[in-house]
């Protein structure tokens, strides 16, 4: 019986120049994440290596042809991440990231982003020149203009990074968090975290940085390629995150070290990934922003109604419902208008207000209900004033005219805590 060749979750001890021959054009990858040798900076101790022993022109020519092959086996919506740096020769900077990106454009890759990877330690040759080197480049390419990008899943939802403004202006913040910017800070792995022998052989990429790239450009079960696998950070991280990997590496020694390492670490990091996937914090932040928006919507609406039609003898009770089905709206919220007021006049004015900024920008689909009176208690209900819907009034008399917005939502945020 003929045994079927394994195509996924393999590392080929082969020259990356033979990608197409090795994996055939039928297997497709969603993304490639790789850090090729930086020209002749390092001898990786194998024949036919790219970079070491070559002229700069031959080196670029080989990389161009390798990434042309990668282009061919990449899905239409696929992407390519290259971590690379400049270096000095004859007292001048050689702009390798840009020379390479020109070559890649010639074979069809579209350069989408140039990211600065800020790291706190640098490689030995970085002492050239008079400034300390602190960053490398990440080039992000796509095969077509419609490329896969799960941007929301890597938004920064650590509220301490958002400064205080999200408290007062929740409508300006995406409930899924702040978008990533173009400077990424990831320290390079240090001795101890990987075991000394491992570190001596490689300059491994930071695991979290690779995880971010994987998260942005793939889904579970997608295929990920690294044609210059080295210590195999990209491959092992793919395995932890439930993706398939394909790697190429000329040096056999590195391959056996990678296989051993993956076996030792797989269950620990898979568990971490499973926990991360539940994304608890992001859910919390999203809920907070939507709560703040629901309350502020009532306050802004109430203040404007008062100003425009001179009604002031009412309170608004806020009851968030379910996710909205309307485009650009996130949440349906019931607003119970409590007091003796003319419903038609109120609704006419409210309609005008909710269809223009600022209320049209809140992502809220309001439903109005009119109630003559309602009983509130300080245990289940929280009262807010005309000027503040981000911290409730402590021990408030909820019947007092000062309290304009009431809800079961309890927010008690102090902007000074988030400076
Ligand atoms: C900069 S290192 C990659 C480091 C890797 N990203 C990591 O996290 O450890 C480049 C690797 O490419 C390998 N290499 C060089 N030329 C190659 C070729 N023609 N085909 C496959 N691998 C090659 C080298 O042996 C080296 O391990």
* Residue 244 near residue 223 (C-beta atoms within 8 A): yes
Which of 220, 154, 223 is CA-nearest to residue 184?
154
For the Cβ of 233 lying below 6 angstroms from any atom of ligand 1, the answer is yes
Query: Which position has the higher pLDDT, 197 or 84?
Result: 84
CA distances to 40, 80, 229, 315 from 299, rounded to whole Å, are 64, 47, 56, 9
Q: Considering only 1-15, 42-56, 181-195, 225-239, which range has the smallest mean pLDDT?
A: 181-195
For the Cβ of 81 lying below 6 angstroms from any atom of ligand 1, the answer is no
For the Cβ of 237 lying below 6 angstroms from any atom of ligand 1, the answer is no
pLDDT surpassing 90 at residue 347: yes
pLDDT surpassing 60 at residue 214: yes
Domain with CATH 3.30.300 in the chain: 281-418
Report how far residue 274's alpha carbon sits from residue 189's, in angstroms, rounded to the nearest whole number.
Answer: 22
Pocket test for ligand 1, best of 230, 245, 254 (most atoms within 8 A of CB): 230
Which residue's alpha carbon is at the smallest distance from atom 27 of ligand 1? 230
Q: Give the other-Cβ count within 10 Å of 350's Cβ.
A: 20
Q: Considering only 3-12, 74-83, 112-121, 325-334, which range has the smallest mean pLDDT?
A: 3-12
User: For the CA atoms of 377, 379, 385, 388, what is the dihedral angle to 10 degrees?
Assistant: -160
Which of 268, 263, 227 is CA-nearest to residue 248?
227
Query: Which position has the higher pLDDT, 200 or 345?
Result: 345
312 phi and psi angles, rounded to 5 deg: -135, 0
Q: What is the pLDDT of residue 173?
A: 81
Pocket test for ligand 1, best of 229, 232, 251, 257 (most atoms within 8 A of CB): 229
Q: Considering only 142-146, 149-153, 178-182, 194-198, which range has the smallest mean pLDDT?
A: 194-198
Measured from the Cα of 83, ligand 1's closest atom is 6
10-148+182-278 carries CATH number 1.20.1260.10: no
Rounded to 10 deg, the angle between the 96-106 and 56-72 helix axes is 50
Residue 23 corresponds to which tokens in the numbers above?
């994996």
Identify which of 14-18, 123-127, 206-210 has the greatest average pLDDT. 14-18
For the Cβ of 49 lying below 6 angstroms from any atom of ligand 1, the answer is yes
How would residue 187 be classed by pLDDT, with cut points 50, 70 and 90? Answer: confident
294: left (phi over 0), alpha (psi -120 to 50) or beta: alpha
CA distances to 27, 86, 110, 140 from 59, rounded to whole Å, are 27, 14, 21, 20
Q: What is the pLDDT of residue 150?
A: 87
Report how far residue 299's alpha carbon sits from residue 294's, in angstroms, rounded to the nearest whole number.
Answer: 9
Domain with CATH 3.40.50.150 in the chain: 10-148+182-278
Average pLDDT, integer, range 169-184: 85
Q: How far is the CA of 50 from the centre of ligand 1 (A)?
A: 8
Which residue's alpha carbon is at the smallest distance from atom 1 of ligand 1? 37
Q: Give the other-Cβ count within 10 Å of 176's Cβ.
A: 19
Report how far residue 404's alpha carbon sits from residue 236's, in angstroms, rounded to the nearest whole number.
Answer: 56
pLDDT in tens, 310-343: 888 899 999 999 999 999 899 999 999 999 889 9
Residue corresponding to tokens 């809800």: 407
Which residue's alpha carbon is at the smallest distance from atom 13 of ligand 1? 228
Q: Give the other-Cβ count within 10 Å of 344's Cβ.
A: 8
Pocket test for ligand 1, best of 23, 249, 254 (most atoms within 8 A of CB): 249
Tell me what the pLDDT averaged over the chain comes to. Answer: 89
pLDDT in tens, 253-293: 999 999 999 999 999 999 988 877 765 566 778 888 999 99
Bridge-based pairing state of the strands 382-384 and 405-407 = antiparallel
Which residue's alpha carbon is at the smallest distance from atom 26 of ligand 1? 230
* Residue 389 near residue 410 (C-beta atoms within 8 A): no
Q: What is the pLDDT of residue 127?
A: 54
pLDDT surpassing 50 at residue 419: no
Residue 231 corresponds to which tokens in the numbers above?
């210590």
**CATH class of this structure's domain 281-418:** alpha beta
CA distances to 19, 29, 64, 70, 337 from 23, rounded to whole Å, are 6, 11, 18, 11, 66
Q: What is the pLDDT of residue 169?
A: 84
- Residue 205: DSSP 8-state: P
């Amino acid at each position: 019986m003929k045994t079927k060749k394994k195509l996924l979750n393999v590392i080929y001890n082969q020259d990356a120049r033979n990608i197409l021959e090795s994996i055939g054009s039928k297997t497709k990858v969603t993304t490639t994440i790789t850090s090729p040798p930086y020209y002749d900076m390092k001898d990786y101790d194998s024949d036919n290596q790219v970079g070491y022993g070559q002229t700069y022109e031959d080196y670029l020519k080989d990389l161009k042809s390798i990434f042309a092959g990668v282009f061919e086996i990449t899905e239409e919506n696929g992407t390519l991440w290259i971590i690379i740096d400049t270096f000095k020769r004859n007292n001048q900077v050689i702009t390798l990231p840009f020379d390479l990106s020109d070559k890649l454009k010639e074979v069809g890759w579209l350069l989408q982003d140039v990211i600065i990877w800020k790291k706190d330690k640098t490689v030995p040759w970085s002492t050239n020149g008079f400034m300390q080197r602190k960053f490398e480049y990440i080039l992000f390419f796509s095969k077509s203009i419609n490329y896969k990008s799960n941007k929301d899943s890597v938004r920064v939802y650590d509220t301490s990074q958002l400064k205080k403004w999200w408290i007062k202006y929740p409508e300006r913040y995406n409930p899924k968090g702040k978008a990533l910017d173009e400077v990424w800070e990831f320290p390079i792995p240090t001795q101890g975290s990987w075991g000394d022998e491992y570190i001596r052989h490689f300059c491994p990429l930071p695991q979290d940085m690779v995880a971010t790239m994987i998260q942005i450009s793939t889904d579970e079960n997608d295929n990920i390629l690294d044609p210059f696998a080295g210590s195999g950070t990209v491959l092992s991280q793919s395995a932890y995150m439930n993706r398939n990997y394909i790697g190429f590496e000329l040096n056999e020694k590195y391959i056996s070290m990678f296989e051993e390492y993956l076996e030792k670490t797989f269950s620990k990091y898979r568990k971490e990934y499973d926990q991360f996937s539940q994304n608890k914090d992001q859910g919390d932040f999203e809920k907070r922003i939507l709560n703040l928006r629901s309350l502020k919507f009532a306050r802004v609406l109430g203040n404007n109604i008062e100003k425009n039609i001179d009604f002031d003898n009412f309170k608004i009770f806020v009851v968030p419902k379910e996710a909205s089905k309307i485009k650009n709206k996130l949440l349906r919220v019931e607003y119970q208008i409590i007091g003796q007021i003319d419903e038609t006049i109120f609704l006419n004015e409210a309609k005008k207000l909710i269809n223009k900024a600022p209320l049209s920008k809140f992502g809220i689909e309001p439903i109005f209900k009119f109630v003559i009176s309602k009983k509130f208690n300080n245990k289940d209900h929280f009262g807010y004033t005309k000027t503040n819907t981000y911290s409730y009034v402590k021990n408030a008399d909820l019947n007092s005219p000062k309290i304009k917005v009431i809800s079961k939502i309890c927010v008690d945020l102090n902007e000074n805590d988030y400076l």
